[in-house]
C-alpha cells in the first residue's frame, strides 16, 4: 500500500525532465547513508513567502522581500503552498532509503542537528539578510533537519557566500557533491525585484589543513565547479514545487576541501547537501581478499589493487583486481589456492583444514581418506604416512596406496641344460604376498633380476642381467661339468627401499626420495627397521653336462649340381660315448651369422642335400650327438652350386617378355592420359571463357596504402584424394562447418586475455581442456564474433574455420574447433606465442644467424607446398600472415579471404580484405590469374621480408610505381648481408613467366641443400652484378641526402640523430666513410643497427 501511494505521489508531483543527465527531479533517496531513515518536511518557505493582508483595498498584493525575506500572497498562492508541503512530505517518506554500499559519505546535512556554516554577509552590519539557516520539518513525525535559504532579490549587487566546514577527503581521489534545492521563478516578483536571478554558483577550495579563520571568498581563490540552474524547473504561484538534484564531482589531491555556495540575487532553498566518494567494495575472489578501494582521480582512471590470500592459502600468481571509475571491479588476474592439507570452500572462499584421518595433496582437490596401508593422526595433513612394512614409490602421487615388496617367484625349474647352456623358467610371485587384500590394488611393475654364482664374465644372459619382466631366462657360454646357483629376485618400484643393493647402479635425485617414511625426518630406528627386511627370491642349482671330445674331421663335398650336393666325412677318432646321430647344417655364405640355418639328421657318415639355390655359394658343417649331448661343429666347407645354360636362356627370354609387356603397358597408359588431359582441358577452357566474358569489361583499380586488388576463385584442373573443397560451393555454409570443423563445448574454454582485434571481433588468448578426461589444458587462440553480427557476417566468420579444418600440417595453423551452439561464436586455433612474422622480425632485428632464418623460410615453403598439393591457392601470402610459435616454427595463417567479387564497382573488394599489390604476381594484377605460381612470387617477397628483418617491400613507393617498375623488369635489391644463393632464389621466384618459377617442393629442396652446405651462404650479395637482372634504385627512397637528420629519418634510424650531431657528422662524405668502430664509439652498439647504417652509408658512397 505504501508503494502504491508513493507511486501516485510521484506521478502527481513530477513535471518531466529537461533531457539532461546532471540533475534529477524528486530524488532524495541518496541523502541518508545507513539503514536509519530520517524523515524530513518542507523547508521553511516562510523565509521565502510569508502571508499578510495588505491594507490597500479588498485584494492582496505581493510584497518585495525585505530584511526578513517575506511577501504577501493571495489565497490561491496559499493553497498552492499547502499543496507543495503535502507532496514534499510524501516524497521524502517514499524516497529516503539507505545509500549504496560503495559510497563513503563524508558530509550529510540531513543528519546534523545544527549546521552553523560560515556565511557572508552576516550579522547586524550586513547590507542584505544573506543565507539563513532554518529547519526542514516533517510535521507528521516531528523530525527536522537543517537547511539554508536566501532570497535577496530586492537588493542591488547581491553577493552572498555560504561555506561548508572543512571536509577531510581521507583516501578519496575524487569527491562527489549532491545538492537538493529549489529556486523561485523571477516572474513572482514583477517590477519589484532589483536583481533577480535563477542560478547560483558552486565552488571549492583545496587546503592541507582546516583553518580557524573563514576561508577566502574572492572568486580567484575558489575554483568554480559549475553555475547551477533549476534543471527540472522553478515554481511560481501556478505550479507545483520542483525539487532539483544536482551531482557534481571534482578531483582532489590535498588533505581536504571547502565547498562554497555563491548567490548573486536568486531565491534559493538548499534543502540537503551530501559529500561522498565512491569505492569498489571489499571482495574475496579466487581465494584472495581485495580491500575497499577508492576510485581514481578521473572517471576513466583504473586503480590497481593487490589482493592478499585468505588464511591457509598461497598465491599461484600475484592476485590483482582493477577498480573502475564507476566503483565496479574488472579484469581479475592471478589468485591463490589452498595450501596442501586444507580443503577449498568455493562458496565461502575459505580454506578449511582436513580432519584427522584425511589429507589433501596437490594431486587432489579436496580432503580424502588416507589410501590403503597409510594413516595420519593430525589435522591439516598434506600426506598419509605408510604403516610399518609398507612403502610408497617417490614417483607415486601421495594419493596412491602403500605396498609391500613382492614375494619370491614360484615354480622355478630348469627346462634345458647341456655342456654350455641352460634354460630356466618360473611363475610370478603369489598374489597373497603383495600385502594388499585386493587384486586390483597390486602394483603392476613387477620385474626380475638375476644373481648367478660361478658365472664369469663370458656367460651371456638372455634377457640381459638388467631388470626384465619375462619369466624365462637362457644362459649361454657356461663351463661344462660346473655347478651354478641362480637366484631370481622379484622386485617392484619400492623394492630398492628395502634392499638398496638391487639398485646399486641406479641414481635417484633428491626429488625422487621424498616419500612417506624415508625422508629427512626419518629416525635412526626407522632406518634400521627398513634394513632388517630382506628382498624375497627363489633359488635353483644345476650342473652343466660334460664336454664331448667327439669332433668331425675331413668333411668334404663329393658332388654338387645346381640344386643338390653330396657330403661325406670321417667318423670321430675319439668319443666319450656311442654316437647316436650326426647333424648336418648348411647356409648361404653371406648368411654365416644367421640363426635360421637349415639342418638335417642322419646316422651315416654321408648326406645328400636337396633344394639348394642355383649359382649360390654355401657353407656346410657337421657335428655328432651322444648321450651327453652334441659335440662341436666341424670346420666350414664352402662349395658353389651350378647354373645350367638352358636356365640362363629361359631366364633371358622371360626377362625380355616381361620388359616388353611393361613397355607396351606404359605406352597405352600414356596415350590414355594424354587423351583424358586434352578432353578435360578443353572442357575447362570453355568454362573459363564463359566466366571471363562476364568479367572482362570490369576496370582495374589500385587502392591507396597497400594497393589492394580483388582475387578470383581458381579451381585446380585435377585433384587428388586430399583436394581442398571450397566452402562457398555449399548451399548451406553450416554444412561445411559440420563437415570440416569440430564442435567444442564452450565450458571447456577459458578466455584469459584480449590480445588483439579483427574484422569480426576480438582475438583472445585462452586455455582449452582436452580429452579424454578434460583435466589437462593447452594454450589456444580464440577469435570471437561480435555480438549482434548479421547472419552474413557469421557465415563469413566461419568460412575461415571450414577452410582451416581441411588442413593438417606442421607449418599450417591448426584448427582445434569451433563454438557455434552458444554465444559468442568462436574459432579455436593453436596459440602462436611470437605473433606475426613481420612484427617478430622487426622486434628482433639482426639477432638471428642466416641458418636460423633459412629454417624459418623452409617451414613456410613446406607449408605452402602442402597447400599446393591440396590444390589450394592462398592469394595473400605475406610475412604478416605467417605466425611464429615459441619454438620459432612458422605456420601459414589467414585463410579468410573470399574469392568472389561482391559488386561491379571500381574497387575490387573481398570479404577478408584486399590483396596487396606489393606481394602479388604480375599476372594476378593484370589478368586476375591466381595459381600456385603466383603464390611462389609472393613467397619470394616473403623471403625478402625475412632477410631484411621485416622491412616494407618497395618502401614508401606508390602502388602505381611498384606496378610500372615490375612491368619494366625491375626487381627488389638484395637485403643487407643477404647470401647470393638466397637472393638468386628470390629472383627465381620473381620470374615474369609463371611457368619458369620453381615449385614449392623444389624450393624446400633448395633450402634443405643450403642448410646442409652452410659454406654456400658465405658469398654475400651486397650490390647488383651484371647478370641481366634489373635491380630497383634503392636511393630513391632512402639515400637522397639533404641533411643528416632527414637521412636518418629515411632509413628509420632517427633515434641516433643526437649521436651524429655530437660526432659532428653533417655531410654525405663524412657519413659514407663511417666504420663499425666509429659507430661503437658514438654509442651505437646494436649490431643490427650498425649493419643497417653502414649498408645505407655505402649506398651514399655509390651516389657520391
Task: State pLDDT tens for residues 779-788.
Answer: 999 999 888 8
In three-state secondary structure terms, 428 is coil
- CA–CA dist 884, 212 (Å, integer): 68
Comparing 565 with 96, which gets the higher pLDDT? 565
Check if the beta carbon of residue 41 is closer than 8 Å to that of residue 139. Answer: yes
pLDDT band at 914 (very low <50, low <70, confident <90, very high): low
667-694 average pLDDT score? 61
**Residue 411: pLDDT over 80:** yes
Q: What is the 3-state secondary structure (H, E, C) of 979-1034?
A: EHHHHHHHHHHCCCCHHHCCCHHHHHHHHHHHHHCHHHHCCEECCCCCCCCEECCH
CATH superfamily of 283-338: ephrin a2 ectodomain (2.60.40.1770)
761 is annotated as contributing to ligand binding: yes
**Residue 203: pLDDT over 60:** yes
Interacting residues of 1077 by C-beta distance below 8 A, sequence separation 6+: none
- CA–CA dist 1035, 643 (Å, integer): 79
Question: What is the third-level CATH fold of 833-1022?
Answer: Transferase(Phosphotransferase); domain 1 (1.10.510)
- CA–CA dist 772, 74 (Å, integer): 88
Which own/partner pairs from 208-217 qualify as long-range (CB within 8 Å, at least 24 positions apart)? Answer: 208/254, 208/255, 208/256, 209/166, 209/255, 209/256, 210/165, 210/166, 210/168, 210/256, 211/166, 214/118, 214/120, 214/163, 215/118, 215/163, 215/258, 215/260, 217/120, 217/161, 217/163, 217/260
Instruction: Looking at mean pLDDT, say which of 642-651, 671-680, 1090-1099 comes out highest.
Output: 1090-1099
**Residue 1024: pLDDT over 70:** no
CB atoms within 10 A of CB 38: 17
> What pLDDT, on a 0 to 100 scale, did the predictor assign at position 57?
34
> What pLDDT, on a 0 to 100 scale, did the predictor assign at position 465?
65
Tell if the pTM clears 0.85, that is, is over it: no
759 is annotated as contributing to ligand binding: yes
Check if the beta carbon of residue 910 is closer than 8 Å to that of residue 759. Answer: no
- CA–CA dist 808, 831 (Å, integer): 15
Core vs surface per residue 947-958: b (16+ CB within 10 A) or e:
bbbbbebbbebe
26: nearest Cα among 110, 100, 113, 90? 90
Q: How far is CA 661 from CA 647, 653, 669, 690, in A?
A: 21, 12, 12, 44
Comparing 145 with 870, which gets the higher pLDDT? 870
The alpha carbon torsion through 209, 210, 216, 219 (nearest 10 deg) reads 70
354-368 average pLDDT score? 89
Check if the beta carbon of residue 548 is closer than 8 Å to that of residue 595. Answer: no
> What pLDDT, on a 0 to 100 scale, did the predictor assign at position 233?
59
**Residue 648: pLDDT over 50:** no
- CA–CA dist 785, 794 (Å, integer): 7
> What pLDDT, on a 0 to 100 scale, did the predictor assign at position 197?
86
Name residue, grid cell 511577501. Answer: 71
> What pLDDT, on a 0 to 100 scale, did the predictor assign at position 219?
62
Rg of the chain in Å (alpha carbons): 48
Which is catalytic among the residues 242, 876, 894, 935?
876
pLDDT in tens, 48-91: 333 233 333 333 333 333 333 333 334 444 544 555 454 444 44
Same CATH fold, 833-1022 and 726-831? no
Name residue, grid cell 537588493. Answer: 155
292-299 average pLDDT score? 91
pLDDT in tens, 557-588: 989 998 899 999 988 866 667 788 999 999 88
756 is annotated as contributing to ligand binding: yes
> What pLDDT, on a 0 to 100 scale, did the predictor assign at position 959?
86
285-298 average pLDDT score? 93
283-310 average pLDDT score? 93
Interacting residues of 815 by C-beta distance below 8 A, sequence separation 6+: 741, 742, 801, 804, 805, 807, 827, 828, 829
Q: What is the 3-state secondary structure (H, E, C) of 228-249?
A: EECCCCCECCCCCCCCEEEEEE
> What pLDDT, on a 0 to 100 scale, did the predictor assign at position 176?
95
pLDDT in tens, 978-1002: 999 899 999 999 999 999 899 999 9
- CA–CA dist 1044, 1056 (Å, integer): 10
Check if the beta carbon of residue 949 is closer than 8 Å to that of residue 837. Answer: no
862: nearest Cα among 723, 1014, 1006, 714? 1006
760 is annotated as contributing to ligand binding: yes
Check if the beta carbon of residue 51 is closer than 8 Å to that of residue 60. Answer: no
731 is annotated as contributing to ligand binding: no
* Distance, first Cα to last Cα, the chain: 96
Name residue, grid cell 555454409. Answer: 733
Check if the beta carbon of residue 411 is closer than 8 Å to that of residue 399. Answer: no
- CA–CA dist 192, 739 (Å, integer): 87
Q: Is the domain defined by 102-280 classed in CATH 2.60.120.260?
A: yes
Helices (H) and strands (E) in the chain, counts: 18, 54
> What pLDDT, on a 0 to 100 scale, did the predictor assign at position 56?
33
788 is annotated as contributing to ligand binding: no
**Which triple of cell numbers denotes residue 892?**
601459414
> What pLDDT, on a 0 to 100 scale, did the predictor assign at position 798?
85
What are the residues facing 162 on neighbouring strands?
Answer: 119, 261
**Residue 691: pLDDT over 80:** no
pLDDT band at 291 (very low <50, low <70, confident <90, very high): very high
With vertex at residue 196, the alpha carbon angle to CA 195 and CA 198, rounded to the nearest 5 degrees, is 140
**Residue 181: pLDDT over 80:** yes
pLDDT band at 953 (very low <50, low <70, confident <90, very high): very high
132-156 average pLDDT score? 81
In three-state secondary structure terms, 496 is helix
922-942 average pLDDT score? 93
Q: What kind and span of H or E run contains 796?
A: helix 791-804
Check if the beta carbon of residue 907 is closer than 8 Å to that of residue 703. Answer: yes
> What pLDDT, on a 0 to 100 scale, did the predictor assign at position 239?
55
- CA–CA dist 650, 644 (Å, integer): 10
**Which triple of cell numbers denotes residue 319?**
592476485
**Which triple of cell numbers denotes residue 895?**
585463410
- CA–CA dist 916, 715 (Å, integer): 22
Name residue, grid cell 584472495. Answer: 288
1037 is annotated as contributing to ligand binding: no
783 is annotated as contributing to ligand binding: yes
Question: What is the third-level CATH fold of 1044-1101?
Answer: DNA polymerase; domain 1 (1.10.150)
**Which triple of cell numbers denotes residue 197?**
536571478
Check if the beta carbon of residue 979 is closer than 8 Å to that of residue 1007. Answer: no
- Domain residue limits, the chain: 102-280, 283-338, 553-641, 726-831, 833-1022, 1044-1101
Mean per-residue pLDDT of the chain: 76
> What pLDDT, on a 0 to 100 scale, did the predictor assign at position 989?
95
pLDDT in tens, 819-833: 988 888 999 999 999
pLDDT band at 1037 (very low <50, low <70, confident <90, very high): very low
Range 553-641: architecture per CATH: Sandwich (2.60)
695 φψ region: left (φ > 0), alpha (ψ -120 to 50), beta (else): alpha
Check if the beta carbon of residue 579 is closer than 8 Å to that of residue 622. Answer: no
- The DSSP secondary-structure symbol of 901 reads -
pLDDT band at 710 (very low <50, low <70, confident <90, very high): very low
- CA–CA dist 1024, 496 (Å, integer): 71
1068: nearest Cα among 1086, 1048, 1085? 1048
In three-state secondary structure terms, 321 is strand
311 is annotated as contributing to ligand binding: no
Whether 876 is a known active-site residue: answer yes
Q: How far is CA 5 from CA 42, 137, 142, 242, 675, in A?
A: 19, 21, 21, 19, 94
CB atoms within 10 A of CB 424: 22
pLDDT in tens, 306-336: 999 999 999 999 999 999 989 999 999 999 9
pLDDT in tens, 475-508: 998 888 789 999 998 888 777 676 555 444 433 3
- CA–CA dist 129, 148 (Å, integer): 12
Core vs surface per residue 16-33: b (16+ CB within 10 A) or e:
eeeeeeebbbbbbbbbbb
433 is annotated as contributing to ligand binding: no
Range 726-831: architecture per CATH: 2-Layer Sandwich (3.30)
Per mean pLDDT, which range of 334-348, 585-599, 959-973, 1035-1049 is the poorest?
1035-1049
Comparing 898 with 457, which gets the higher pLDDT? 457
1054-1074 average pLDDT score? 86
Interacting residues of 162 by C-beta distance below 8 A, sequence separation 6+: 117, 118, 119, 131, 148, 150, 260, 261, 262, 263, 270
Amino acid at each position: 500500500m505504501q508503494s502504491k501511494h508513493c507511486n501516485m505521489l510521484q506521478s502527481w508531483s513530477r513535471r518531466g525532465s529537461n533531457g539532461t543527465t546532471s540533475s534529477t527531479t524528486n530524488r532524495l533517496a541518496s541523502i541518508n547513508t545507513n539503514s536509519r531513515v530520517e524523515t524530513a518536511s518542507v523547508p521553511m518557505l516562510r523565509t521565502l513567502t510569508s502571508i499578510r493582508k495588505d491594507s490597500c483595498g479588498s485584494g492582496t498584493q505581493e510584497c518585495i522581500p525585505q530584511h526578513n525575506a517575506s511577501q504577501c500572497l493571495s489565497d490561491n498562492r496559499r493553497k498552492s503552498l499547502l499543496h507543495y508541503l503535502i507532496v514534499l512530505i510524501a516524497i521524502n517518506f517514499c524516497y529516503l532509503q539507505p545509500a549504496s554500499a560503495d559510497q563513503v559519505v563524508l558530509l550529510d546535512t540531513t543528519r546534523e542537528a545544527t549546521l552553523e556554516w560560515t556565511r557572508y554577509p552576516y550579522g547586524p552590519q550586513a547590507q542584505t539578510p544573506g543565507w539563513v539557516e532554518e529547519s526542514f520539518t516533517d510535521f507528521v513525525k516531528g523530525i527536522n533537519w537543517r537547511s539554508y535559504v536566501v532570497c535577496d532579490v530586492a537588493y542591488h549587487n547581491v553577493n552572498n557566500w555560504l561555506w561548508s566546514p572543512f571536509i577531510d577527503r581521507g583516501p578519496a581521489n575524487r569527491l562527489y557533491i549532491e545538492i537538493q534545492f529549489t529556486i523561485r521563478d523571477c516572474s513572482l516578483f514583477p517590477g519589484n525585484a532589483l536583481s533577480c536571478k535563477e542560478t547560483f554558483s558552486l565552488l571549492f577550495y583545496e587546503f592541507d589543513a582546516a583553518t580557524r579563520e573563514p576561508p577566502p571568498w574572492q572568486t580567484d581563490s575558489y575554483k568554480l565547479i559549475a553555475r547551477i540552474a533549476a534543471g527540472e524547473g522553478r515554481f511560481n504561484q501556478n505550479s507545483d514545487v520542483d525539487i532539483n538534484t544536482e551531482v557534481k564531482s571534482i578531483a582532489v589531491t590535498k588533505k581536504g576541501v571547502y565547498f562554497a555556495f555563491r548567490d548573486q540575487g536568486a531565491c534559493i532553498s538548499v534543502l540537503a547537501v551530501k559529500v561522498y566518494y565512491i569505492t569498489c567494495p571489499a571482495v574475496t575472489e579466487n581465494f584472495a581478499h581485495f580491500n575497499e578501494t577508492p576510485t581514481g582521480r578521473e572517471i576513466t582512471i583504473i586503480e590497481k589493487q593487490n589482493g592478499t590470500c585468505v588464511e591457509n592459502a598461497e598465491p599461484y600468481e600475484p592476485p590483482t583486481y582493477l577498480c573502475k571509475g564507476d566503483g565496479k571491479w574488472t579484469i581479475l588476474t592471478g589468485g591463490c589456492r589452498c595450501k596442501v592439507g586444507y580443503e577449498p570452500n568455493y562458496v565461502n572462499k575459505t580454506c578449511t583444514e582436513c580432519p584427522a584421518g584425511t589429507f589433501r595433496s596437490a594431486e587432489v582437490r579436496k580432503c580424502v581418506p588416507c589410501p590403503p596401508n597409510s594413516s595420519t593422526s593430525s589435522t591439516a595433513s598434506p600426506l598419509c604416512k605408510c604403516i610399518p612394512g609398507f612403502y610408497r614409490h617417490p614417483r607415486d602421487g601421495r594419493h596412491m596406496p602403500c605396498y609391500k615388496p613382492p614375494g619370491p617367484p614360484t615354480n622355478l625349474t630348469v627346462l634345458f641344460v647341456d655342456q654350455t647352456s641352460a634354460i630356466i623358467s618360473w611363475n610370478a610371485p603369489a598374489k597373497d604376498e603383495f600385502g594388499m587384500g585386493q587384486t586390483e590394488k597390486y602394483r603392476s611393475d613387477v620385474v626380475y633380476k638375476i644373481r648367478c654364482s660361478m658365472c664369469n664374465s663370458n656367460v651371456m644372459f638372455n634377457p640381459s642381467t638388467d631388470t626384465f619382466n619375462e619369466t624365462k631366462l637362457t644362459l649361454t657360454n657356461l663351463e661344462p661339468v660346473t655347478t651354478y646357483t641362480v637366484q631370481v629376485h622379484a622386485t617392484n618400484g619400492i623394492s630398492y627401499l628395502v634392499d638398496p643393493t638391487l639398485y646399486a647402479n641406479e641414481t635417484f635425485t633428491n626429488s625422487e626420495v621424498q616419500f612417506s617414511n624415508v625422508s629427512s625426518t626419518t629416525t635412526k630406528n626407522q632406518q634400521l627397521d627398513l634394513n632388517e627386511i630382506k628382498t624375497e627370491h627363489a633359488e635353483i642349482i644345476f650342473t652343466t653336462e660334460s664336454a664331448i671330445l667327439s669332433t668331425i674331421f675331413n668333411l668334404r663335398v663329393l658332388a654338387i649340381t645346381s640344386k643338390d650336393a653330396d657330403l661325406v666325412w670321417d667318423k670321430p677318432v675319439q668319443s666319450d660315448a656311442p654316437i647316436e646321430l650326426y647333424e648336418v647344417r648348411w647356409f648361404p655364405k653371406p648368411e654365416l651369422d644367421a640363426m635360421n640355418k637349415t639342418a638335417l639328421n642322419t646316422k651315416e657318415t654321408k648326406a645328400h642335400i636337396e633344394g639348394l639355390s642355383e649359382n649360390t655359394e654355401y657353407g656346410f658343417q657337421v657335428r655328432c650327438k651322444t648321450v651327453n649331448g652334441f659335440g662341436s661343429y666341424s670346420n666350414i666347407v664352402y662349395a658353389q652350386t651350378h647354373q645350367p645354360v638352358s636356365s640362363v636362356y629361359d631366364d633371358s627370354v622371360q626377362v625380355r617378355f616381361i620388359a616388353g609387356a611393361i613397355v607396351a603397358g606404359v605406352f597405352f597408359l600414356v596415350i590414355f592420359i594424354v587423351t583424358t588431359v586434352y578432353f578435360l582441358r578443353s572442357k575447362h577452357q570453355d568454362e573459363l571463357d564463359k566466366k571471363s566474358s562476364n568479367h572482362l569489361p570490369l576496370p582495374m583499380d589500385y587502392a591507396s596504402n597497400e594497393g589492394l586488388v580483388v582475387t578470383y576463385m581458381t579451381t585446380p584442373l585435377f585433384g587428388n584424394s586430399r583436394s581442398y573443397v571450397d566452402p562457398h560451393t555449399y548451399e548451406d555454409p553450416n554444412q561445411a562447418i559440420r563437415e570440416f570443423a569440430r564442435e567444442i563445448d564452450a565450458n571447456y574454454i577459458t578466455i584469459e586475455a584480449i590480445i588483439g582485434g579483427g574484422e569480426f571481433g576480438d582475438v583472445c588468448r585462452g586455455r582449452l581442456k582436452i580429452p579424454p578426461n578434460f583435466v589437462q589444458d593447452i594454450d589456444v587462440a580464440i577469435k570471437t564474433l561480435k555480438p549482434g553480427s548479421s547472419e552474413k557476417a557469421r557465415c563469413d566468420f566461419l568460412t575461415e574455420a571450414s577452410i582451416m579444418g581441411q588442413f593438417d600440417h606442421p607449418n599450417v595453423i591448426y584448427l582445434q574447433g569451433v563454438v557455434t551452439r552458444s554465444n559468442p561464436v568462436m574459432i579455436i586455433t593453436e596459440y602462436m606465442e611470437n605473433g606475426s612474422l613481420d612484427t617478430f622480425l622487426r622486434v628482433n632485428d639482426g639477432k638471428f644467424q642466416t641458418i636460423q632464418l633459412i629454417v624459418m623460410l623452409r617451414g613456410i615453403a613446406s607449408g605452402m607446398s602442402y597447400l599446393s598439393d591440396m590444390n589450394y591457392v592462398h592469394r595473400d601470402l605475406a610475412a604478416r600472415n605467417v605466425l611464429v610459435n615459441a619454438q620459432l616454427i612458422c605456420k601459414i595463417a589467414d585463410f579468410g579471404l573470399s574469392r568472389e567479387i561482391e559488386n561491379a564497382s571500381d574497387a575490387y573488394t573481398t570479404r577478408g580484405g584486399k590483396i596487396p599489390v606489393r606481394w602479388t604476381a604480375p599476372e594476378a594484377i593484370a589478368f586476375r590469374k591466381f595459381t600456385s605460381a603466383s603464390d611462389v612470387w609472393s613467397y619470394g617477397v616473403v623471403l625478402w621480408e625475412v632477410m631484411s628483418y621485416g622491412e616494407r617491400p618497395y618502401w614508401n613507393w606508390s602502388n602505381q610505381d611498384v606496378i610500372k617498375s615490375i612491368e619494366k623488369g625491375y626487381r627488389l635489391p638484395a637485403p643487407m648481408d643477404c647470401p647470393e644463393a638466397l637472393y638468386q632464389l628470390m629472383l627465381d621466384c620473381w620470374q615474369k613467366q609463371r611457368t619458369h618459377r620453381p615449385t614449392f617442393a623444389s624450393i624446400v629442396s633448395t633450402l634443405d641443400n643450403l642448410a646442409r652446405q652452410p659454406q654456400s651462404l658465405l658469398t654475400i650479395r651486397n650490390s647488383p652484378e651484371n647478370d641481366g637482372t634489373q635491380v630497383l634504385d634503392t636511393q630513391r627512397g632512402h639515400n637522397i641526402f639533404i641533411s643528416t637528420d632527414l637521412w636518418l629519418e629515411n632509413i628509420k634510424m632517427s633515434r641516433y640523430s643526437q649521436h651524429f650531431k655530437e660526432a659532428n657528422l653533417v655531410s654525405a662524405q663524412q657519413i659514407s666513410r663511417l666504420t663499425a668502430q666509429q659507430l661503437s664509439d658514438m654509442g651505437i652498439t646494436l649490431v643490427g643497427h650498425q649493419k643497417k647504417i653502414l649498408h645505407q652509408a655505402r649506398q651514399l658512397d655509390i651516389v657520391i
